[in-house]
Amino acid sequence: MIDLRSDTVTRPTAAMLAAMAGAETGDDVYDEDPTVHALEERVAGLLGHEAGLFTVSGSLANVLGVRSLVAPGQELLCEERAHVVRAELGAHAVWHGVTTRTWSDPRGHVDLDAVRRLMTPDAGPYLVSTAAIAVENTHNFAGGTVQPLETLRELRALAEPVGVRLHLDGARLWNAHVATGVALADYGRLFDTVSVCLSKGLGAPVGSVLVGPAAAIAEARVWRKRLGAGWRQAGVLAAAGLYALDHHIERMADDHAHARLIADAVAEADPSAVDPATVETNVVILDVGDRAAGLVERAAAEGVLTGVVGPGLVRLITHLDVTGDDAKQAAGVLARLVRG
């Protein structure tokens, strides 16, 4: 099977498994795992922040990051399809009393005019005050789109003077970095907290890292334990992340090329299904209307796994385990099926 459902389905390479087997470990609940320390320091440095915290998932990293910026009863602003409001099962509201309001953008981008309209940093005793804004880069459900750097700079200039803080859901920030050449720290320093995932395009089996100021990360460590997510000899998993940082970042350009190859083939068969020019990284969204469920079923029968992510929308994500030949085969199957 050629599995395009997500880039989370990758399996560790033999070299990554060897790195994991040789990892030096300690008890991370006691803050004594040297490999975890190395990973946290490495990622924090790459993103231009003081400290990092290794977590079991991107959702947990986002929950901890947003909690450090938004008090119970305050609000977080974000795009309406952002992972923090669509795919984290209401965790921010359930655990930390965070309310949300959203803007809509067809590309998932930051809409500065909408932010200006929505943002109420000091709403007084009768309305909800805006404490933070979350941005997703790249934006998953918008099709792996990259947030323009200049827009992010303008967002910072808009939010900072009024005390509204910024969280970056950078689960696929590595893809944005590879696609644009923008340094990771140039993205990271614009935000108060940043989460990045190790188990998507980087190909590690588990984990994300939250970075931010040292005091915020120390508090997040306490909350991680409070939520039942402390872990012990986590260096075995951290070693996979370190290996991925050394070997799997630049190769993401191949994933981007494979996604564009598939988009080109599908667009040739049915131009209404996708505009290849909108495919910036490793995510392709096909808009096929009421054919979506049937397309997914028929593609699976021919060895290509995909998924429905919204009304009429089928998502494909290329990754470490999808070769060039796999991409060509998947492109052929999908093009034939959308052609009908």
Over residues 98-133, the pLDDT tens digits come to 999 999 999 999 999 999 999 999 999 999 999 999
- In a domain, residue 7? The reply is no
CA separation for the pair 276, 290 (Å, rounded):
21
Q: Which domain holds residue 50?
A: 14-247
Query: ∠ CA(256), CA(262), CA(265), 5° rounding?
Result: 140
Residues 235, 189 within the same domain:
yes
pLDDT at position 340, please? 79
- In a domain, residue 227? The reply is yes
- Non-local CB neighbours of 15 within 8 Å, separated by 6+ positions: 243, 247
- In a domain, residue 1? The reply is no
Burial 39-70 (b: 16+ CB within 10 A, else e): bbebbbebbbbebbbbbbbbbbbbbbbbbbbb
Three-state DSSP class for 201?
A: coil
Residues 214, 298 within the same domain:
no
CATH number at residue 280: 3.90.1150.10
Return the closest-CA partner of residue 139 out of 103, 95, 96, 90: 103
- In a domain, residue 2? The reply is no
Residues 18, 101 within the same domain:
yes
Answer for the pair 304, 297: CB distance below 8 angstroms, yes or no: no
CA separation for the pair 316, 75 (Å, rounded):
32
How many structural domains are present in the chain? 2
Q: 324, exposed or middle or buried, with CB in 10 Å at 0-12, 13-18, 19+?
A: exposed
Residues 97, 226 within the same domain:
yes
Return the closest-CA partner of residue 172 out of 78, 261, 287, 256: 256
What pTM does this model have? Answer: 0.97
CA separation for the pair 75, 280 (Å, rounded):
31
Residues 54, 130 within the same domain:
yes
Residues 162, 255 within the same domain:
no
- Non-local CB neighbours of 101 within 8 Å, separated by 6+ positions: 75, 77, 118
Residue that finishes a domain, picked among 247, 271, 303: 247
Task: Copy the structure tokens of residue 220.
Answer: 């997040």
Residues 237, 269 within the same domain:
no
CATH number at residue 31: 3.40.640.10
Residues 297, 217 within the same domain:
no
CA separation for the pair 90, 73 (Å, rounded):
14
CA separation for the pair 55, 13 (Å, rounded):
21
- In a domain, residue 121? The reply is yes
Residues 30, 139 within the same domain:
yes
CA separation for the pair 22, 119 (Å, rounded):
49
Residues 162, 284 within the same domain:
no
Answer for the pair 169, 62: CB distance below 8 angstroms, yes or no: yes
Residues 228, 262 within the same domain:
no
Task: Copy the structure tokens of residue 50.
Answer: 């003081």
Residues 23, 94 within the same domain:
yes
Residue that finishes a domain, picked among 214, 247, 280: 247
Residue that finishes a domain, picked among 211, 232, 247: 247
- In a domain, residue 5? The reply is no
pLDDT by residue, tens only, the chain of 340 residues: 999 999 999 999 999 999 999 999 999 999 999 999 999 999 999 999 999 999 999 999 999 999 999 999 999 999 999 999 999 999 999 999 999 999 999 999 999 999 999 999 999 999 999 999 999 999 999 999 999 999 999 999 999 999 999 999 999 999 999 999 999 999 999 999 999 999 999 999 999 999 999 999 999 999 999 999 999 999 999 999 999 999 999 999 999 999 999 999 999 999 999 999 999 999 999 999 999 999 999 999 999 999 999 999 999 999 999 999 999 999 999 999 999 7
Q: 75, exposed or middle or buried, with CB in 10 Å at 0-12, 13-18, 19+?
A: buried
- In a domain, residue 3? The reply is no
- In a domain, residue 8? The reply is no
Which amino acid is located at 104 in the chain? S
Task: Give the DSSP letter of residue 106.
Answer: T
